[in-house]
């Protein structure tokens, strides 16, 4: 009657009146919800067993942890039975700090991604082209190759850390170190040479002729010699390389920009595959089965080139520098260049020279220097190289896109010559004129050697060696006459020698036989001597 807004049933009134008559005043208190907070009677041992099951990377659900805890209590602590209800255990689980729950149930990697403190990179103090970040991304698009097979292409890209624009990129079906250099060449031609390169520890960067072997480098080989370490591409370009910490994707800005590549470009194709099984569109299977809207590799490459340069690089700046908000990324790049100047190579030829790949040391043989690429051996030859340097160790720099010639260097990095590919190769079906040309080339090489040797020698003289040897002998004989004769001469005779075996008188065979008969006591009957 005092609080007409509160609805209390008759059954509730009778129940409470019965509790008053029985003296059970605790039944009059509402124990629902937060009213029970702090009144749990769960023993500490039960709580520790429950949390041990809950805070495990097997990620058992709370009801399963309660059931297993109850089983443990029946075996080890029966006096604690019955256990509190589900909500009591649930509150214990929710009371665990979130970072602790993530680390114990999801592992170190998830904790590192979600809860670990991170260092904010400060971009206000750097300029455009100070840092380029490089990596390779698999496009989430099915495309058709020239041979009709379906596959996914790869994007090797370089990103400017200050502005977030893609400076250089290259789409290929065979990612690797050469694709990385192709992307770098494209970026340098348009935006200049960066001061530093920030890359991961992949072999497309940690190659002996690009950035060096890094942590894979050996100080000494098995035979005790120092490993071959020619100047790499980054060194020749004056780029300082920095390697990211292993399994630290957050440190590389390009990793996050690849997510934009997926959203800005890959999703536009009907054969978009999604980044994982969950993102895979339902239409993909039908599109691939019909085969009507499958793009070719050339179409994907053309679209990527256009969309990166004209769409993504011109998008609004989304970095952390407040003063650049509202500008486009390409505008930020132009305005943040140090002194407005980009470092560029003197010419395309200079850039081509600095981006050449380097072979391992090879020894010059009869066919010149041999370059091994993907199991194929290519010979590069000049008569001067073979005639003057045969058996010496050298290395070559080459362009994989143009193998018509290579540049040959000695082991002290001194340039020797440009060697064209060896043409001294004949098939069984060559005609007479082609064989004649090859034989003429061999004769020219032999003639060059003969002429070089003739330039080192005097004119032919068959008697030169005999004349010189005779003159040397005569000079020695003349020198003997100048020695003085000895004044005292001691005469020495040989000792007389007597023979050890000497015959005494003549041999009498008859007398020798008589002596034998006498020694034996005569001759026996029926036996001859």
Residue range 402-457, pLDDT digits in tens: 888 899 998 888 888 988 887 765 544 455 565 566 566 667 666 766 776 677 67
Q: Is residue 448 part of a domain?
A: no
The per-residue pLDDT for 344 is: 80
Q: Is residue 487 part of a domain?
A: no
The per-residue pLDDT for 525 is: 54
Tell how far CA 150 is from the center of its chain: 27
The per-residue pLDDT for 138 is: 93
Q: Is residue 39 part of a domain?
A: yes
Same domain as 135, residue 108: no
CATH number at residue 380: 2.30.30.130
Same domain as 51, residue 15: yes
**Where is the domain boundary, 399, 420, 441?**
420
Classify the C-alpha dihedral 272-276-281-286 as positive or negative.
Answer: positive
Same domain as 164, residue 28: no
The per-residue pLDDT for 68 is: 93
**Where is the domain boundary, 374, 391, 420?**
420
Same domain as 154, residue 56: no
DSSP state of 403: E
CATH number at residue 20: 1.10.10.60
The per-residue pLDDT for 449 is: 64
CATH number at residue 161: 3.30.420.10
Q: Are 49 and 69 in contact (CB under 8 A)?
A: yes
Same domain as 206, residue 310: yes
Same domain as 336, residue 202: yes
The per-residue pLDDT for 529 is: 47
Q: Is 494 helix (H, G, I), strand (E, B) or coil?
A: coil
Same domain as 276, residue 310: yes
Q: Is residue 75 part of a domain?
A: yes
Q: Is residue 482 part of a domain?
A: no
**CB-based burial of residue 162 (10 Å sphere; 0-12 exposed, 13-18 middle, 19+ buried)?**
buried
Q: For residues 285 and 270, what is the distance between their CA atoms, to the nearest angstrom? A: 11
**Where is the domain boundary, 58, 81, 114?**
114
First-last CA distance in the chain:
172
Q: Is residue 506 part of a domain?
A: no
Nearest-5° Cα angle at 385, 379 to 391: 80
Q: Are 45 and 33 in contact (CB under 8 A)?
A: no
Q: For residues 342 and 195, what is the distance between their CA atoms, to the nearest angstrom? A: 10
Question: pLDDT (tens digit, 0 to 9) for every residue of the chain, 529 residues total?
Answer: 777 777 788 888 888 889 888 888 877 776 665 555 555 578 889 999 999 999 999 999 999 999 999 999 999 988 888 888 898 899 999 999 999 999 999 998 888 878 877 656 667 788 899 989 988 999 999 999 998 899 999 999 999 988 989 999 999 998 888 888 899 999 998 999 999 988 877 777 777 778 776 656 666 666 666 667 777 888 888 888 887 665 555 555 677 788 889 998 999 999 999 888 888 999 999 999 888 889 999 999 999 999 999 999 999 998 888 888 889 999 999 998 888 888 887 777 788 888 888 888 889 888 888 888 777 788 898 888 888 888 898 988 888 888 888 999 988 888 889 888 877 655 444 555 655 665 666 676 667 667 766 776 777 777 777 787 888 888 887 777 776 665 555 555 655 666 655 555 566 777 777 888 888 777 665 555 4
Same domain as 287, residue 185: yes
How many domains is the chain partitioned into structurally? 3
The per-residue pLDDT for 250 is: 55
Q: Which secondary-structure segment (H or E) carries 404? A: strand 402-410
Same domain as 387, residue 325: no
Same domain as 332, residue 373: no
Q: Is residue 265 part of a domain?
A: yes
Residue in this structure with the two tokens 């009657």, named with its chain if needed: 1
Q: Is residue 4 part of a domain?
A: no
Q: Is 160 helix (H, G, I), strand (E, B) or coil?
A: strand
Same domain as 236, residue 139: yes
The per-residue pLDDT for 143 is: 94
The per-residue pLDDT for 428 is: 45
Question: 46 lies in which domain range?
Answer: 10-114
The per-residue pLDDT for 42 is: 83
Same domain as 97, residue 208: no
């Amino acid at each position: 009657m005092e609080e007409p807004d509160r609805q209390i049933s008759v059954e509730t009134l009778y129940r409470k009146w019965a509790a008053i008559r029985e003296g059970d005043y605790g039944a009059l208190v509402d124990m629902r919800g937060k009213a029970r907070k702090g009144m749990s009677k769960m023993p500490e041992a039960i709580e520790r067993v429950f949390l041990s099951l809950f805070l495990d990377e097997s990620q058992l659900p709370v009801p399963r942890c309660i059931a297993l805890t109850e089983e443990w209590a029946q075996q080890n602590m029966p006096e604690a039975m019955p256990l509190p209800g589900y909500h009591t255990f649930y509150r214990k689980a929710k009371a665990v700090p979130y970072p602790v729950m993530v680390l114990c149930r999801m592992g170190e990697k998830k904790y590192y991604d979600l809860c670990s403190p991170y260092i904010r990179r400060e971009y206000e103090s750097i300029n455009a082209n100070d840092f380029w970040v490089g990596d390779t991304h698999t496009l989430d698009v099915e495309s058709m190759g020239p041979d009709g097979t379906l596959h996914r292409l790869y994007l090797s890209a370089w990103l400017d850390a200050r502005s977030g624009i893609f400076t250089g990129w290259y789409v290929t079906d065979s990612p690797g170190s050469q694709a990385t250099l192709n992307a770098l060449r494209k970026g340098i031609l348009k935006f200049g040479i960066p001061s530093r390169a920030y890359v991961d520890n992949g072999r497309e960067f940690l190659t002996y002729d690009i950035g060096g072997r890094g942590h894979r480098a050996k100080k000494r080989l098995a035979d005790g010699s120092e490993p071959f370490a020619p100047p790499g591409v980054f060194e020749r370009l004056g780029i300082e390389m920095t390697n990211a910490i292993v399994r630290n994707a957050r440190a590389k800005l390009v990793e996050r920009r690849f997510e934009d590549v997926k959203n800005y470009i890959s999703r536009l194709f009907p054969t978009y595959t999604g980044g994982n099984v969950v993102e895979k569109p339902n239409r993909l299977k039908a599109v691939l089965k019909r085969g009507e809207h499958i793009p070719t590799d050339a179409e994907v490459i053309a679209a990527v080139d256009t969309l990166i340069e004209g769409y993504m690089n011109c998008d609004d700046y989304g970095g952390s520098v407040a003063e650049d908000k509202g500008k486009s990324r390409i505008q930020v790049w132009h305005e943040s260049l140090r002194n407005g100047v980009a470092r560029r190579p003197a010419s395309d030829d200079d850039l081509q020279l600095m981006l050449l790949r380097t072979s391992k040391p090879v020894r010059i043989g009869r066919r010149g220097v041999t370059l091994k690429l993907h199991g194929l051996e290519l010979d590069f030859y000049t008569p001067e190289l073979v005639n003057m340097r045969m058996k010496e160790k050298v290395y070559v720099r080459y362009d994989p896109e143009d193998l018509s010639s290579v540049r040959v260097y000695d082991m002290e990095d001194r340039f020797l010559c440009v060697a064209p590919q060896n043409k001294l190769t004949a098939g069984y079906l060559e005609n007479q004129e082609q064989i004649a040309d090859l034989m003429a080339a061999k004769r020219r090489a032999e003639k060059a050697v003969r002429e070089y040797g003739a330039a080192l020698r005097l004119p032919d003289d068959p008697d030169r060696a005999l004349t010189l040897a005779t003159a040397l002998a005569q000079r020695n004989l003349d020198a003997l006459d100048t020695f003085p004769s000895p004044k005292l001469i001691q005469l020495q005779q040989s000792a007389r020698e007597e023979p050890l075996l000497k015959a005494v008188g003549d041999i009498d065979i008859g007398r020798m036989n008589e002596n034998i008969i006498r020694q034996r006591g005569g001759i026996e009957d029926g036996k001859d001597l």
